[in-house]
């Protein structure tokens, strides 16, 4: 395995220089400064590519969350941000986005050593898209108008959108900076204060970005970051009586907990993005098998398969199954796990040892339930101390098997073949999830019909995982509710108020 010290490419030399200079922020960010946890407790941050500890991070708990919420509430009530002119918020958020871009190399490096994704992806995808997201909401906010209701002329009824107050954002470890930006961009743009809890596996970029937000001009208290564990800090945010809304991305299991926390506390609003088991359907008339194979492979192996909308169920017409799988295996051959800090690496490390065991456990279950292991299936590069799993493909999977039903969150593809389109549609929709789905066909009528009939928040036709900040993202069924991205995300961070003025 290549290490960062023996890489020759100029880009790799940059990574090495940056790694030597890297400063890691480890405190909670509360009221404009880094702070230890009230308990002084910390937790170890392990680099998943080496198994080596890289930092001890403040383990925030109820007291820290309480302090962060109090500061966020005080900032909100003061009006310093919540009642500032939209144009002023635009100015700060645009600067914030520019600072993220200016620190792209540093943030990409932090993301990579924190959660194991290839530096190439962190630098080219995660950081630029996070900056783009913050800028988009900054730019949008002074272009949205309120409304006047068409009542009779004796009244003027203004329908205003107002910020909710304090928003709790709890995010996962697969795209730490990007998920945080999907929450804080629209929440801040609409005037809310935010208390962000990154996942325990990936707190580093959130902590650094909070400081950049302050440098951009976010007033103290408007963006607080409390690292810590889900059961403690996450639950404290979910149950806090002075948090007005939760915006969450993560597992369905924890999403349901947030609904319970809300019901047992102050009935705060909850928006959930809870992952999926997305069907990737290749019909007999798929026009371009090579393109479909590329999409199928990258659709499940990108980001080590740790993607909520991963196309983890391949539904393929029996007549093209062999030809497609042959091509998918060829593409997978180029996605070998390697050192995430090597700019040439296309697949990094699984986020931690627990997730590694989970992924390997699902592979074992697939075998024992009778699926045929077609490719991979093993942990690799064990000598590095890191948590790497090779691209894995199962064939002869039935939709009843565990590997076709549960979210694995690893590089594991389950192949189910069919001979009848109606049967394929039923299988595609036979899941508790409904985040995303895709279909490959050269028949325009079928494309429209499948677009209509697949039960998912995002349906791709003849592509996979295409996205844009202008396009809403979120799920049907137990993939959650509420949408991230696009102008619609502004709605969930605001409330409607009708102000009725009697004009006789
Ligand atoms: P979780 O759903 O547990 O984590 C998501 C976020 O919720 C993290 O910030 C986590 O904090 C927090 N959290 C965890 N438990 C609680 C709790 N009891 N109360 C409040 N907040 C909590 O995902 P995991 O990391 O455990 O991963 C398990 C599985 O979840 C994965 O294998 C995958 O299937 C799925 N998942 C789906 C994601 C998606 O985007 N759809 C993202 C991540 C995971 P902390 O990490 O600090 O405990």
133 labelled catalytic:
no
Note the pLDDT tens digit of each residue in 340-382.
Answer: 999 999 999 999 999 999 999 999 999 999 999 999 999 999 9
pLDDT surpassing 70 at residue 12:
no
What's the confidence (pLDDT) of residue 9? 44
Confidence of residue 13 (pLDDT cuts 50, 70, 90): low
CA nearest ligand 1 atom 31, residue: 409
Tell how far the Cα of 250 is from the centroid of ligand 1, in angstroms. 5
What's the confidence (pLDDT) of residue 1? 34
Ligand 1, pocket-test mutation among 172, 207, 268, 274, most atoms within 8 A of CB: 172
* CA-atom Rg of the chain in angstroms: 23
3-state secondary structure of 102: helix
172 pocket-lining for ligand 1 (C-beta < 6 Å) = yes
274 pocket-lining for ligand 1 (C-beta < 6 Å) = yes
Q: Average the pLDDT over 33-53 and give the result.
A: 97
What's the confidence (pLDDT) of residue 458? 98
Q: Determine whether 72 is exposed, middle or buried from the number of CB atoms within 10 Å of its CB (0-12, 13-18, 19+).
A: buried
Question: Distance between CA atoms of 491 and 190, rounded to whole angstroms?
Answer: 9
What's the confidence (pLDDT) of residue 275? 86
What's the confidence (pLDDT) of residue 11? 66
Of 200, 274, 308, 390, catalytic: 308
The mean pLDDT value of the chain amounts to: 96
What's the confidence (pLDDT) of residue 378? 98
Q: Average the pLDDT over 103-129 and give the result.
A: 97
Phi, psi of 435 (to 5 degrees): -85, -50
What's the confidence (pLDDT) of residue 444? 98
pLDDT surpassing 60 at residue 303:
yes
Q: Give the list of residues 6+ apart from residue 270 with CB closer than 8 angstroms, or none.
A: 245, 246, 248, 258, 259, 262, 482
Question: Distance between CA atoms of 287 and 55, rounded to whole angstroms?
Answer: 50
What's the confidence (pLDDT) of residue 399? 98
34 pocket-lining for ligand 1 (C-beta < 6 Å) = no
Residues constituting the chain: 504
3-state secondary structure of 270: strand
Question: Distance between CA atoms of 333 and 374, rounded to whole angstroms?
Answer: 13
Tell how far the Cα of 3 is from the centroid of ligand 1, in angstroms. 30
What's the confidence (pLDDT) of residue 43? 98
What's the confidence (pLDDT) of residue 17? 74
Note the pLDDT tens digit of each residue in 202-238.
Answer: 999 999 999 999 999 999 999 999 999 999 999 999 9
What is the DSSP track for 453-502? HS-SSEEEES-SS---TTS-B--EETTEES-BSTTTHHHHTEEEEEEEEE
pLDDT surpassing 70 at residue 6:
no
Ligand 1, pocket-test mutation among 46, 114, 254, most atoms within 8 A of CB: 254
Note the pLDDT tens digit of each residue in 56-82.
Answer: 999 999 999 999 999 999 999 999 999
259 pocket-lining for ligand 1 (C-beta < 6 Å) = no
273 labelled catalytic:
yes
Are 433 and 477 within 8 A, CB to CB? yes
- Of 203, 249, 246, which Cα lies nearest the Cα of 226? 203
Q: Average the pLDDT over 104-108 and give the result.
A: 97
306 pocket-lining for ligand 1 (C-beta < 6 Å) = no
For the four alpha carbons of 193, 195, 199 and 205, in that order, the dihedral sign comes to positive
Taking CA atoms, 499 is separated from 32, 148, 160, in Å, by 35, 9, 8
Q: What's 347's DSSP letter? A: B
What residues form DSSP beta bridges with 422? Answer: none
What's the confidence (pLDDT) of residue 337? 98
199 pocket-lining for ligand 1 (C-beta < 6 Å) = yes
CA nearest ligand 1 atom 41, residue: 275
Provide the Cα torsion 161, 469, 476, 255; round to 10°.
-80
Q: Average the pLDDT over 250-260 and give the result.
A: 98
Of 111, 211, 273, 407, catalytic: 273
The count of C-alpha atoms lying within 13 angstroms of the C-alpha of 25, restricted to the half-sphere facing its C-beta, is 23
Confidence of residue 21 (pLDDT cuts 50, 70, 90): confident
Are 300 and 351 within 8 A, CB to CB? no
Tell how far the Cα of 254 is from the centroid of ligand 1, in angstroms. 6
Ligand 1, pocket-test mutation among 28, 61, 251, 257, most atoms within 8 A of CB: 251
CA nearest ligand 1 atom 22, residue: 230
Please give the sequence-ordered ranges of beta strands (E in DSSP) within 297-424, or none if there are none: 313-317, 372-375, 379-380, 388-389, 392-395, 412-418
Tell how far the Cα of 202 is from the centroid of ligand 1, in angstroms. 11
Which atom in ligand 1 lies closest to the alpha carbon of residue 255? Answer: 2
Global pTM value = 0.96
3-state secondary structure of 142: helix
251 pocket-lining for ligand 1 (C-beta < 6 Å) = yes
Tokens, residue 92? 């700060």
409 pocket-lining for ligand 1 (C-beta < 6 Å) = yes
**How much of the chain, in percent, has pLDDT values that exceed 90?**
95
């Amino acid at each position: 395995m290549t290490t960062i010290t023996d890489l020759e490419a100029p880009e790799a030399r940059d990574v090495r220089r940056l790694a030597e200079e890297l400063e890691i922020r480890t405190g909670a960010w509360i009221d404009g400064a880094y702070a230890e946890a009230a308990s002084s407790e910390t937790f170890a941050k392990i680099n998943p590519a080496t198994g080596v500890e890289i930092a001890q991070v403040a383990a925030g708990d109820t007291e820290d969350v309480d302090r962060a919420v109090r500061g966020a509430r005080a900032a909100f009530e003061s009006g310093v941000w919540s009642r500032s002119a939209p144009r002023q918020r635009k100015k700060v958020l645009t600067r914030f986005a520019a600072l993220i871009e200016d620190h792209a190399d540093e943030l990409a490096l932090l993301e990579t050593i924190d959660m194991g994704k290839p530096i190439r992806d962190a630098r080219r995808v995660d950081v630029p898209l996070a900056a783009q997201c913050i800028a988009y909401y900054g730019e949008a906010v002074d272009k949205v108008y309120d409304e006047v209701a068409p009542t009779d002329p004796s009244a003027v009824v203004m329908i205003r959108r107002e910020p909710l107050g304090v928003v709790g954002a709890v995010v996962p470890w697969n795209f730490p900076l990007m998920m945080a930006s999907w929450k804080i961009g629209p929440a801040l743009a609409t005037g809310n204060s935010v208390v962000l809890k990154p996942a325990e596996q990936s707190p580093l970029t959130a902590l650094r970005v909070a400081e950049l937000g302050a440098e951009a001009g976010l007033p103290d208290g408007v963006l607080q970051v409390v690292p810590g564990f889900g059961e403690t800090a996450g639950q404290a945010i979910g149950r806090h009586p002075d948090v007005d809304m939760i915006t969450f991305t993560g597992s369905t299991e924890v999403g349901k907990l947030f609904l319970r926390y809300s019901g047992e506390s102050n009935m705060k609003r909850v928006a959930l993005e809870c992952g999926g088991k997305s069907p990737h359907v290749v019909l007999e008339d798929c026009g371009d098998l090579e393109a479909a194979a590329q999409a199928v492979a990258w659709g499940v192996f990108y980001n080590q398969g740790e993607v909520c909308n991963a196309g983890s169920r391949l539904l393929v017409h029996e007549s093209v199954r062999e030809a497609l799988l042959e091509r998918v295996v060829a593409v997978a051959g180029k996605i070998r796990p390697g050192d995430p800090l090597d700019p040439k690496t296309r697949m990094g490390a699984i986020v931690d040892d627990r997730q590694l065991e989970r992924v390997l456990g699902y592979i074992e279950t697939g075998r024992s339930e009778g699926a045929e292991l077609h490719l991979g299936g093993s942990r690799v590069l064990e000598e590095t101390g890191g948590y790497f799993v090779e691209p894995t493909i199962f064939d002869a999977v039935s939709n009843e098997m565990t590997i076709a039903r549960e979210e694995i969150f690893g590089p594991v593809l389950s192949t189910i073949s069919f001979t009848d389109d109606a049967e394929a549609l039923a299988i595609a929709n036979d899941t508790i999830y409904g985040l995303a789905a895709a279909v490959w066909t050269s028949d325009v009528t079928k494309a429209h019909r499948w677009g209509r009939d697949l039960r998912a928040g995002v349906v791709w036709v003849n592509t996979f995982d295409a996205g844009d900040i202008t396009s809403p993202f979120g799920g049907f069924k137990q993939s959650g509710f509420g949408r991230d991205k696009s102008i619609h995300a502004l709605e969930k961070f605001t409330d409607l108020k009708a102000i009725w003025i009697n004009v006789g």
